[in-house]
Amino acid sequence: MNYKKSVSLTIICLGALTILVTLTGQINHRWDGSRTIPVHQIPLKDEYDQDIIPTESYPLPYSTRYTCGPCHDYNKIHNGLHFNAVTSDQHGRPGEPWVWIEPKTGTVLPLSYRNWKGTWNPSEIGLTPWDFTLLFGRHMTGGGVAEPKDEEMSPESRWEVSGKIEINCMGCHSASRKQSHSEWAKQILRQNFRWAAAASSGLGEVWGMASRLPGTWDIFDGPNPDDTEWAVVPSVRYRLNHFDSKFRVFFDISNKPDDHRCLVCHSVSPVHLERFMADEDVHSTAGMKCIDCHRNDLSHDMIRGYEGEAIKSQKQQIADFSCIGCHTGKVTFKGAKTNAGRMGAPYPKHIGFPAVHFEKLSCTVCHSGPLPQKEFTRVRTSRANRLGIYGIAQWFTDFPNIIEPVFIKDQAGKITPHRLMWPAYWGRLEKEKIFPLKPADVQAAAKEILDVEEHIAQILTALLMNLEIEGIPVLVTSGKVYELNADGGLDVSLYSGEKPKAEIIWAIKKNGKIIPLVPEFDPSAEELDVEIETRIQKTLEALATFPDPPGEPALVYKNVMYQVVEGYLEVMERPGIIAEAPQWFWIKDNKTQLLASEFQIRTVVATVGFEQSLTEEQVELVLKSLAQAENRQKTKEKGKFFYISSGKMFSLDGTGQLTAAEHSAAEPIAWPLGHQVRPAQQSLGINGCTECHRDQSAFFFNKVEGVGPLKTQKVALLSMFRFMGKDKPFQKLFGLSFTVRPVFKVVLFISTLIIGSILILLILLALGRFSGIIEKRR
């Protein structure tokens, strides 16, 4: 090889290497052993890997893929636990599902891309990654399903407008108090996906709403100067004081995320607990961080810390971080002993504790979650009940109704405390296969059957249009007063005034008093009082603003009807109706219809002010509507529609009546709880065996009652011993045996004393004989 050739080859090789390094953009950062973390003063990059100049007029939001990616392998992180639900085939022990809540249809549907028992894969029920991200992006970490590949984007999605949600590194790793989860949730709701990380990190302010932009909008289109009020294009205004002269930003990074970052998505609190009474997990109190046990390397393949995880994942070092591994150092994996005592974990002596408990129970039975009591503890969790999002509106939901601790035998055969909830959803049963229905499909078929509260609220809203009433319009019925609330729904309070003249009265609440919508008058009088006439006319005009009214509004009192015709109040006789009190109607084709039907009033009375949002009557009507809709479609396969709630499957029988039956699809879904760990003094069993082993103990004999959005008496009732796979008579007998156990101990003690004394005597005699003392005494 001549000189020229070798120089050319060397140049080509060096060039190829440079290109390779540039393309991958990765610096292979191996830990040098220093326990410090570098200062993150770095340039921001947008999603096209271009430097962000904050002083530009329309800077793009920063991209974590390109800002953090040069030092931290984004694609490697992308396979971590928080991002790999769709791609991983190792799902481990069941965890908390995502719960799709839709109050109007009474849907409480547990979803998960992981194949955990009782959950539905979103794709099975027709939810695209776009739908899923819109529903749950508020508590997602970004990446994974929220960052689909181009070929995975469904045509109806709006990823091009909103952008994808890249992994929100700062969501976990920010040590700044400016990191705002509420801002994140707000931006996700506005479909400002690509702007959410910048907005929530506090690096800049984000304006505009991608949700209001046309589906054809593209980020290169830029802002729309013609619309600065409604369809405002999202944009970020970076806070310039965060940048240095080279436009580098200081990221206040926590290598080990602070607990409050984890708790954004992993908070669990009893519903009725006062904040000042809430204790931390005993590990946190001891100064530990979540990440001390739930650790990970760059792969972000986090240790979940449950027993058996090491065997499942075939990684020995994981075993150190389970309760047993850290506290006892038992042999857990291929004969290897765990490195117990890490972080000063104390060794539990478990004095007086029969060993059988360690075979049958997980550590969390006695040490985690609330103590079992007669009533289960109802909890709210961040992701299921939308906690931790602060603002004027109330974000959190009461459903799903999650209770704990429910002791269930887990996959490893050990009894473990679980959180439990009951699913509720509409579906179609076809050849024993369940097909859940989307809430939107149910609403489309059910029409006004489910819009009852909304209907009443709309009437009250329409009445508000009458500015002369100087009060709040209310509905008085069944001894209760219903009025509008800030969320567009109804609030209920008890009626304490005089007995109303009619069962249903539309009235005004003024200074706490209920007064009629129209003052008392004599309809048979020759001429009406002008004030009353005006009030009637204004009220009728206000009612006319009701969206899609079923007819023209009218007032009937005795046999006189008042109606606004061409702007004038017309008074006419109305034969056939004699109203003892003024009654408001819709009139169409000479047919009268009450402002709210008896069904609507009945339903509102039964549901408003209660946690349940549906009545059996509504369910029956919706099921009929669904069946009729299917009949109209003339599909070949006829299915049976059902509604699941409270552990029962409700469907129509041959005569069209609603019946409830048991079905595996109606069974509750449960997942083991790990936290919060209580101090040793609050362990279950600290006060003796009878905390569990007694007749009627909460541990064995508590009953889990089915709950759901349907108001019904037909609910499933499951005893705890059934979840544990235990025999009730035996547990009763065994529990009773503990009442005589003190006597039993005394008997054994006396026996050992007698036999022991004789044995000592025998030994002394033998010693005496062998030593010759007895002979000498003789």
Partner 1 sequence: MFGIIILVSLFAMIFALMFHHYRRVLTTAKINSADFKITDYFSWYVNRISKQISVLFKNSFKKSCQKLLKKVIIFRYPEVEKWSIVGLSLSFLFLATSGFIYALFFTRSLHGYALLFHVILGGVFSVSLSIVVVLWAPVYSFGTEKEKFSNDSPDRRETPRPVTVKQKILFWLFVISGFLLILTALTLMLPVFSLKDHLSMVDIHRYSALVALLSAIAFVYFTLAENRK
Q: For residues 21 and 331, which CB has a smaller minimum distance to partner 1 in the complex?
A: 331
| CB nearer partner 1, residue 356 or residue 565 | 356
DSSP helix/strand/coil, 775 = helix
- Cβ proximity to partner 1, 717 vs 762, nearer residue: 762
Cβ–Cβ under 8 Å, residues 542 and 462: yes
Q: Is 660 helix (H, G, I), strand (E, B) or coil?
A: strand
Between residues 591 and 745, which has the closer beta carbon with respect to partner 1? 745
* Intra-chain end-to-end CA distance of the chain, in Å: 117
Contact in structure between 421 and 402 (CB atoms under 8 Å)? yes
CB of 58 or CB of 744, closer to partner 1:
744
Q: How far is the CB of 177 from partner 1 (least distance, A)?
A: 45
* Least distance from partner 1 to the Cβ atom of residue 288, Å: 24
Residue 649's contacts (CB-CB under 8 Å, 6 or more residues apart) are 642, 643, 660, 661, 662, 663, 665, 666
| Smallest separation (angstroms) from partner 1 to the CB of 738 | 10
Nearer to partner 1, 285 or 752 (CB): 752
- CB-nearer residue toward partner 1: 522 or 727: 727
Q: What is the 3-state secondary structure (H, E, C) of 148-216?
A: CCHHHCCCCCCHHHHCCCCCCHHHHHECCCCCCHHHHHHHHHCCCHHHHHHHHHCCEEEECCHHHCCCC
Tell me the HSE value of 22 on the side-chain side, using a 13 A CA sphere.
6
The phi and psi torsions of 499 (rounded to 5 degrees) equal: -65, 125
Nearer to partner 1, 12 or 754 (CB): 754
CB < 8 Å & 24+ apart, contacts of 237-246: 237/204, 237/205, 237/206, 237/207, 238/52, 238/54, 238/59, 238/198, 238/203, 238/204, 239/202, 239/203, 239/204, 239/205, 240/54, 240/55, 242/203, 243/54, 244/41, 246/43
Nearest to 218 by CA among 44, 48, 74, 43: 48
**Residue 731: cis peptide before it, omega within 30 degrees of 0:** no
Residue 405, preceding peptide bond in cis (omega within 30° of 0): yes
10 Cβ contact list (under 8 Å, min separation 6): none
Min CB(771)–partner 1 separation in Å: 13
Is the omega angle on the peptide bond into residue 473 within 30 degrees of 0, that is, cis? no
Q: Which is nearer to partner 1, 38 or 756 (CB)?
A: 756
Nearest to 389 by CA among 105, 163, 181, 528: 181
Residue 23 or 356 having the CB closest to partner 1 = 356
Binding residues for partner 1, per CB under 8 A? 348-356, 358-359, 688, 727, 730, 733-734, 737, 741, 744-745, 747-752, 754-756, 758-759, 761-762, 765-766, 769, 774
> In this complex, which beta carbon is closest to partner 1, that of residue 222 or of residue 756?
756
Q: Indicate the angle between helix axes 452-464 and 598-607, nearest 10 degrees.
A: 100
Question: From the CB of 360, what's the least distance to partner 1, in Å?
Answer: 9
3-state DSSP assignment of residue 379? strand
Question: Is the CB of residue 101 less than 8 Å from the CB of residue 91?
Answer: no
Q: Considering beta carbons, is residue 359 or 375 the nearer one to partner 1?
A: 359
As measured in angstroms, the least distance from the Cβ of 760 to partner 1 is 11
Give the residue with the Cβ less far from partner 1, 315 or 745.
745
Strand ranges (E), 320-438: 331-333, 336-337, 377-381, 402-409, 415-421, 425-430, 433-436
Give 354 or 567: the residue with its C-beta nearer to partner 1.
354
What is the rounded (10 degree) CA torsion for 449, 451, 457, 463? Answer: -70
Find the shortest distance in angstroms from Cβ 321 to partner 1: 21
CB of 409 to partner 1, least distance (A): 14
Smallest distance, Å, CB 210 to partner 1?
Answer: 59
87 versus 752: smaller Cβ distance to partner 1: 752
**Minimum separation from the CB atom of position 311 to partner 1 (A):** 18
Q: Decide: 45 and 62 in contact? Cβ < 8 Å.
A: yes
| Closer residue to partner 1 in complex, CB, 289/414 | 414
- Which CA distances in Å does 319 have to 95, 202, 275, 308, 672? 19, 38, 35, 8, 18
Nearest distance, CB of residue 677 and partner 1, angstroms: 19
The least distance separating partner 1 from the CB of residue 355, rounded to whole angstroms, comes to 5
- Taking the complex as a whole, the smallest distance from the CB of residue 775 to partner 1 amounts, in Å, to 9
CB of residue 281 to partner 1, shortest distance in Å: 24
* CA pair distance 410, 376, nearest whole angstrom: 19
CB of 280 to partner 1, least distance (A): 27
Based on CB atoms, which residue is closest to partner 1, 249 or 365?
365
With H, G, I as helix, E, B as strand and everything else as coil, classify residue 648.
Answer: strand
What whole-number distance in Å separates Cα of residue 479 and Cα of residue 494?
Answer: 6
- Residue 648 beta carbon to partner 1: minimum distance, rounded to whole angstroms: 32
Write out the two tokens for 69.
């990616």
What's at 298, amino acid-wise? Answer: L
CB of 747 to partner 1, least distance (A): 6
Q: Which two tokens stand for residue 369?
A: 């979650």
Going from the C-alpha of 775 to that of each of 78, 762, 772, the distances in angstroms are 90, 16, 5
Q: Which DSSP category does 526 fall into?
A: S
